Amino acid sequence: MKQPLGVILAGGQASRMGGGDKGLNPLGRSTILGHVIDRLAPQVAALALNANGDRARFDGLGLPVICDSIDGFAGPLAGVLAGLDWAAGEGASHIVTAAADTPFFPGDLVPQLQYAAETQGQPIALARTENGRHPTFGFWPVALRHDLRDALEGGMRKVLAWTDTHGTAFADFPTGGIDPFFNVNTPDDLIEAQKWARTT
């Protein structure tokens, strides 16, 4: 299977960080989002950023910025749909998503998700650790975009509620010393991430 396209999900409101784009907060020698880009870009054929509002604030990244087509900050599923619509226009069959606030996710995320989908015979694959499932880190087929659009328009908002209606594989990752899916939600989380950034 060829490399999928990558979509970074940055469409949330970051209310626990005081609003704004938490991915643009400094982290080490870069930003949180910069770390995410550096990890995901080598694993995918092309990369886009899902974000809402003024796209110009991301001009320096050199990435296409794709907005939700579902109004009202409908959550990560709306970002997945935006990514699937973008991928359809690019002629791709799959995307892999990663959250914009999770700077330490595995460097083999994409091949492990692809492998899980193939070997477990399921259309969708999600990341999983001993701490549970991580539904913003997934492998998604473009063929399901119309089903997802219908679900969102019908009020569906929870990722796992939708994926559970389809076949879902899981790629298991060890947590080790650093939780690879640690996400920066609060100022205290950012302080913790700064400590980890110095050791990675």
Taking only the tens place, the pLDDT of each residue in 174-194 is 987 778 999 998 888 888 888
**pTM of the predicted model, to two decimals?**
0.92
Average pLDDT in the 4-14 region? Answer: 83
> Which amino acid, one-letter code, is at 18?
G
User: Where in the chain does DSSP place strands (E)?
Assistant: 5-9, 26-27, 30-31, 47-50, 65-66, 94-99, 124-129, 132-141, 168-172
**pLDDT for position 200:** 60
More confident residue, 76 or 196: 76
pLDDT band per the 50, 70, 90 thresholds, residue 14:
very low
Q: Does residue 57 register a pLDDT over 60?
A: yes
- Return the CA Rg of the chain: 16
Extents of the domains making up the chain: 5-197
Average pLDDT in the 121-141 region? Answer: 96
**pLDDT for position 196:** 81
More confident residue, 140 or 187: 140
- Which residues are CB-contacts of 113 (< 8 A; sequence separation ≥ 6)? 96, 125, 126, 127, 137, 138, 139, 171
Q: Tell me the C-alpha distance between 124 and 116, whole Å.
A: 9
Superfamily of domain 5-197 in the CATH hierarchy: Spore Coat Polysaccharide Biosynthesis Protein SpsA; Chain A (3.90.550.10)
Average pLDDT in the 39-68 region? Answer: 94
Average pLDDT along the chain: 91
| Closest by CA position to 50, among listed 81, 25, 71 | 81
